[in-house]
């Protein structure tokens, strides 16, 4: 199993009700967690053994080691 300990990301909500949805790692790709953020709330998280992808629904700033991206652009 590879090491995901450096794979952090930050989500900052720009409106109420932004959803950060975690998708499972491995053979099945399915939702396993949904976190709701209100405007100004920040979630700092990482990719793990259980989480290989995330989906962001709503207006947010997403910071990753690769780039900072705005979901409403
Ligand atoms: N239990 C989950 C895990 O260890 C928690 C988690 C980590 C998570 N990163 C996430 C949930 C990103 C949603 C989105 O993988």
Cβ burial, residue 61 (10 Å; 0-12/13-18/19+): middle
- DSSP secondary structure letter of residue 70: E
CATH 2.102.10.10 fits 8-59, yes or no: no
Q: Ligand 1 centroid to 73 CA: how many Å?
A: 26
For residue 54, give the ligand 1 atom closest to its CA: 14
**Model confidence, pTM:** 0.92
Taking the domains of the chain in order of start, what are their residue ranges? 8-59
pLDDT of residue 3: 75
Confidence (pLDDT) at 2: 67
Ligand 1 pocket (Cβ < 6 Å) reads: 20, 22, 33, 35, 45-46, 48, 50-51, 54
Tens digit of pLDDT at every position of the chain (73 positions): 567 767 999 999 999 999 999 999 999 999 999 999 999 999 999 999 999 999 999 999 999 999 999 998 6
Other Cβ atoms closer than 10 A to 8: 13
């Amino acid at each position: 199993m590879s090491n995901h300990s450096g794979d952090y990301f930050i989500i900052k909500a720009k409106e109420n009700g932004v959803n950060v949805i975690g998708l499972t790692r491995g053979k099945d790709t399915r939702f396993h967690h949904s976190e709701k953020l209100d405007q100004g709330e920040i979630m700092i998280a990482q990719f793990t053994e259980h989480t290989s992808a995330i989906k962001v629904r709503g207006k947010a700033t997403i910071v990753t080691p690769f780039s900072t991206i705005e979901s409403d652009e």
